[in-house]
Amino acid sequence: MTAEEGIRQLLVELGQDVAREGIVDTPARVVKAMKEMTSGYGEDPAAILSRQFDSCGYDDLVVVRGIRFSSLCEHHLLPFTGTAAVAYLPKDKVVGLSKLPRLVECFSKRLQLQEKMTREIAEAIEEHLEPHGVGVYVEAKHQCMACRGVRQTDADMVTTTVLGAMRECRGLKDEFLSAVHAGQY
């Protein structure tokens, strides 16, 4: 059975007339959308972070915040959307500003759990950039909780991962979280 046939069968199970004008092309559209929304499997975090520059002695936090993303919950295949903030404490190298949003995009375009995605982003930076420390903060609204089940449309979820010096030094973690929330209140 092809993916399109599977979607067509799902529509039949939901009581839909798959020959109806508005639905006849839906299986192809769903397959195309799912491929786009899971395109992160084709991205390589090592390649994203491969272009590095000398830090020129910069040894304070680098923080990129307000990184918008959308992902699919692996439990229900429903979207969750939000923002991420990514920080690292350079050792010898830094990366270009666009690389951190690209890394978030890489992991968000996979079937995900928010907790797992947050950790994967942090671990990729730790592995490929080898900074003194890493912090990742993700805040998202989950449609699997908003449009079904408990129907909590205003609830959001916050996850954080801190590694290296940011885990070991409370002051660095506090500085990271302060930078994430600066100007929001």
Catalytically active residues, by annotation: 73-76, 114, 142, 144
Q: 104 to each of 17, 18, 100, 138, how far by Cα in Å?
A: 39, 37, 6, 10
CA distance 31 to 34: 5
CA distance 160 to 158: 7
CB 163 within 8 A of CB 132: no
Which residue in 166, 158, 106, 104 sits closest to 134, CA to CA?
Answer: 166
Question: 76 φ, ψ to 5°?
Answer: -125, -5
Q: H or E segment at 107?
A: helix 99-108
